Amino acid sequence: MTVRLSRIQLALFFILLCPVNIIGLWWAVGSPLVMDPNSICRKAKRLAGKQAELCQTQPEIVSEVAKGARLGVRECQYQFRYRRWNCTSHNKYFGKILQQDIRETAFVYAITAAGVTHAVTQACSMGDLLQCGCEATRNRAPPRPPSSSSSSSSSSSSSSSGDGVKWEWGGCGDDVEFGYEKSKQFMDAKRRRGKSDIRTLVDLHNNEAGRLAVKLYMRTECKCHGLSGSCTLRTCWKKMPHFREVGDRLLERFNGASKVMGGNDGKTLIPVGQNIKPPDKQDLIYSDESPDFCLANRKTGSLGTRGRICNSTAMDISGCDLLCCERGYREETMVFEENCLCRFHWCCVVQCKKCLVRKELSLCH
Ligand SMILES: *[C@@H]1O[C@H](CO)[C@@H](O)[C@H](O)[C@H]1NC(C)=O
Ligand SMILES: *[C@@H]1O[C@H](CO)[C@@H](O)[C@H](O)[C@H]1NC(C)=O
């Protein structure tokens, strides 16, 4: 398998992942850097002339790619909020996660590739990009009424269900194909020198799994038209899944991730262990076991769990025993400011008071 890429993509990928890990950096400083393609592009000039060219010709896409990567990282932090590794990093530590080939690496790759697919597609639908827009539905088979089993095999662009309601494609469908292609172009760049082929295959597989978690789960939304709600015509369009749903789905794949190793030819991946069914395109794969993330470790990028908030009554991964790696925990009373006594004023203001709320928290030793 060969992955041919232009130097532009290579350079962009280089910028996204190393040596200054921008994804990590964005998060770590919470800066608007990600919103600003110019800073990316300024750095780009130092790396390759062609990168600067991409920045000049398609700065909007670069910007959406960056937004998408950030969307992915935010979702990663939500999904991993109760885990020992919580998808947090100081810039260089996040880089360490990406340099390994563990489950967590797989998740980060998948969720960022999914984020880019989602953000670019969303930008198309919003009319923010000149290169794309709503999905073209001219040649598509007519929609099927979601609740009806009537088959519609005609090739016209509308169909009728048994009750005489006419259906057609309309509205603004999400052009996920465009976002999918851009994510592929930007995220599947050939990996850094010194990376083995196997790792490259694994990363590319996980990127694709992430994109598919968006692309294969499009839903159909419809709207009724007709006099006084009579619904004589329904128009329908395709929408992407909510990104939370994408995150949930990828977390399931993370939990069921398959361990693989390289075949003798250096070009194939084979599942490790006997009688294990080969992973399909939507599964996440990895080749090395994760560290336990209990203690801070520069080499693995683990920040350790000291000081993390745990749940002393939960028996699952958020419970203190597991999260604190059996080092124990201390109780602490903390005071938070919250909105309270909110009142709705006609129309349309909500006024709240600020209250101080005490909370008992358990913190890992
Ligand atoms: C994640 O964990 C680190 C330490 O392990 C902590 O400093 C950080 O606040 C946590 N982040 C979130 C979002 O909980
Ligand atoms: C702690 O865990 C218990 C049991 O799983 C759960 O009911 C409770 O909501 C959790 N508390 C917090 C603050 O998450």
Tens-binned pLDDT, residue by residue, of the chain (365 aa): 333 444 444 444 444 443 333 333 332 222 223 334 555 566 554 544 444 555 667 778 888 888 898 899 899 999 999 999 998 866 555 667 878 899 999 999 999 999 999 999 999 999 999 999 999 876 677 766 555 433 333 344 556 655 667 888 888 999 999 999 988 887 776 544 445 688 889 999 999 999 999 999 999 998 888 887 788 888 899 999 999 999 999 999 999 999 999 888 877 899 998 767 889 999 999 999 999 999 998 888 888 999 999 999 998 889 999 999 999 999 999 898 988 888 888 888 888 989 999 999 999 99
Ligand 2 centre to CA of 89 (Å) is 26
Residues 77 and 198 in one domain: yes
Quickly tell me which residue has 């989602």 as its tokens: 118
Residues 278 and 354 in one domain: no
Residues 190 and 116 in one domain: yes
Asked if residue 280 is part of any domain, the answer here is yes
Asked if residue 141 is part of any domain, the answer here is no
Residues 295 and 331 in one domain: no
Residues 344 and 285 in one domain: no
79, 81, 88: residue to mutate for ligand 1 pocket, most atoms within 8 A of CB? 88
Q: Terminus-to-terminus CA distance in the chain, angstroms?
A: 48
Residue at which a domain ends, from 304, 338, 356: 304
Ligand 2 neighbourhood includes 313 CB (under 6 angstroms): yes
Residues 15 and 101 in one domain: yes
Asked if residue 246 is part of any domain, the answer here is yes
Residues 336 and 290 in one domain: no
Asked if residue 310 is part of any domain, the answer here is no
Residues 282 and 342 in one domain: no
Tell me, what's the pLDDT at 92?
53
Ligand 1 neighbourhood includes 88 CB (under 6 angstroms): yes
Tell me, what's the pLDDT at 155?
40
Residue at which a domain ends, from 255, 270, 304: 304
| Ligand closest to CA 305 | 1
- CA-nearest residue for atom 8, ligand 1, is 88
Residues 344 and 296 in one domain: no
Asked if residue 149 is part of any domain, the answer here is no
Asked if residue 188 is part of any domain, the answer here is yes
Q: Does pTM surpass 0.85?
A: no
Quickly tell me which residue has 């602490």 as its tokens: 332
- Ligand 1 atom nearest 306 alpha carbon: 5
Residue at which a domain ends, from 256, 278, 304: 304
Tell me, what's the pLDDT at 161?
59
Ligand 2 centre to CA of 92 (Å) is 33
β-strands 285-286, 302-303 pairing: unpaired
Q: Which residues contact 193 (CB under 8 A, 6 or more apart)?
A: none
Tell me, what's the pLDDT at 173?
94
Beta-bridge mates of residue 159 = 167
Residue 317 neighbours by CB distance under 10 Å: 14
Residue 266 neighbours by CB distance under 10 Å: 10
Asked if residue 230 is part of any domain, the answer here is yes
Ligand 2 neighbourhood includes 91 CB (under 6 angstroms): no
| CA–CA distance, 232 with 225 (Å, rounded to integer) | 6
Ligand 1 centre to CA of 83 (Å) is 10
Tell me, what's the pLDDT at 33?
31
- Ligand 2 atom nearest 316 alpha carbon: 5
Residues 333 and 227 in one domain: no
What tokens does 191 get?
Answer: 């990996």
What tokens does 128 get?
Answer: 């923010």
Residues 186 and 249 in one domain: yes
CB 260 within 8 A of CB 277: no
Boundaries of domain holding 87: 7-135+172-304
Ligand 2 centre to CA of 45 (Å) is 50
E strand or H helix that includes residue 338: strand 329-345
Q: Residue 116: what residue type?
A: V
Tell me, what's the pLDDT at 197?
81
Tell me, what's the pLDDT at 8?
41
Quickly tell me which residue has 């670019």 as its tokens: 120
Asked if residue 311 is part of any domain, the answer here is no
E strand or H helix that includes residue 332: strand 329-345
CATH code at 356? 3.30.2460.20
Dump the DSSP string for 243-303. HHHHHHHHHHHHHTPEEEEE-TTSS-EEESSTTPPPP-TTS-EESSPPP---SEETTTTEE
Total structural domains within the chain: 2
Q: What is the 3-state secondary structure (H, E, C) of 116-180?
A: HHHHHHHHHHCCCCCCCCCCCCCCCCCCCCCCCCCCCCCCCCEEECCCCCEEEECCCCCCHHHHH
What tokens does 230 get?
Answer: 């009579």
Q: How far is CA 144 from CA 79, 147, 207, in A?
A: 34, 8, 31
309, 310, 313, 360: residue to mutate for ligand 2 pocket, most atoms within 8 A of CB? 313
Residues 236 and 352 in one domain: no
